Structure 1
């Protein structure tokens, strides 16, 4: 299965996402904000199959994280999530580096489907 880095400041949402994806056999590493996630990415030399990040977070938001990750690890697929329409609009300019923006609240099947779509190689 895949190695997934999750950046989410809400501990309940983070725990839910971690459990949902780990239950599918993915290896999960979680960070409480974008700054911590970028530290983990650097320490692991970008060796993840997916970066799944909330957009609105303290320290470093998901858009800044996505830009830094895409710059340093251009092959890393990025999936963002947000509950805010204005944040979703900000992410539209990142179509070249962000595969999808998942709207919160999402169901577990929606989360799993979005992750599967990003991880499935296109023919």
Structure 2
């Protein structure tokens, strides 16, 4: 899937249903955004583990017990930014999806994310409804029997 940069979408259309119970790792240096992500994803039935930078996310993904379906990362973070994190993750046996958030990306950085096959690059601010819709597109709920 080719990633795209998208602007926040208004919350007018009903959100499609995502598979519940996803294991999500979120790398974001701002504590208030980590808390907001928790408020958005946990009511949807997902388990969220939030860390403060890319190096902590990488360490968590390298643990043998790590079983994440989705990595969401900010681009601008101290210690290890999102691009360096995604480069390192691509050398791991990580089979999950990757979403990148950024308030600004120059074209070269965006192209680097494209080359690394991230699933989506979203421009901040990201509206909760748009994120829920994207997750539902990446992880659709099983059809009723």
C-alpha separation between the residues in 2 aligned to 1:59 and 1:118? 29
User: Deviations for 1:46-84, whole angstroms, at most 9, x for unmatched residues?
Assistant: 410000000110000011111111210242211100111
What's the C-alpha RMSD, in Å, of the aligned pairs? 1.8
1:107 deviation in Å?
1.0
Q: Structure 1 or 2: larger helix share? A: 1
C-alpha separation between the residues in 2 aligned to 1:18 and 1:62? 19
* Corresponding residue pairs, total: 120
Which of 110, 117, 122 is equivalent to 1:91?
Answer: 110
C-alpha separation between the residues in 1 aligned to 2:140 and 2:51? 24
Which of 99, 109, 122 is equivalent to 2:129?
Answer: 109
The runs of 5 or more residues in structure 2 that have no matched partner are 1-20
Q: Show structure 1 runs of 4+ deviating over 6 A.
A: none
By relative contact order (CA 8 Å, sep 6+), the higher-ranking structure is 2
Q: Which residue of 1 aligns with 2:74?
A: 54
CA contact (8 A) 1:10 1:32 kept: yes
Q: Which residue of 1 aligns with 2:15?
A: none
C-alpha separation between the residues in 2 aligned to 1:103 and 1:12? 18
Alignment of 1:16 with 2:43, yes or no, is no
Task: Name the CA shift for 1:46/1:69 in 2 (closer, same or farther; >3 Å).
Answer: farther
TM-score by length of 2: 0.75
* Secondary structure at the counterpart of residue 35 of structure 2: helix
Task: Name the CA shift for 1:63/1:45 in 2 (closer, same or farther; >3 Å).
Answer: farther
The structure whose Rg is larger is 2
TM-score by length of 1: 0.87
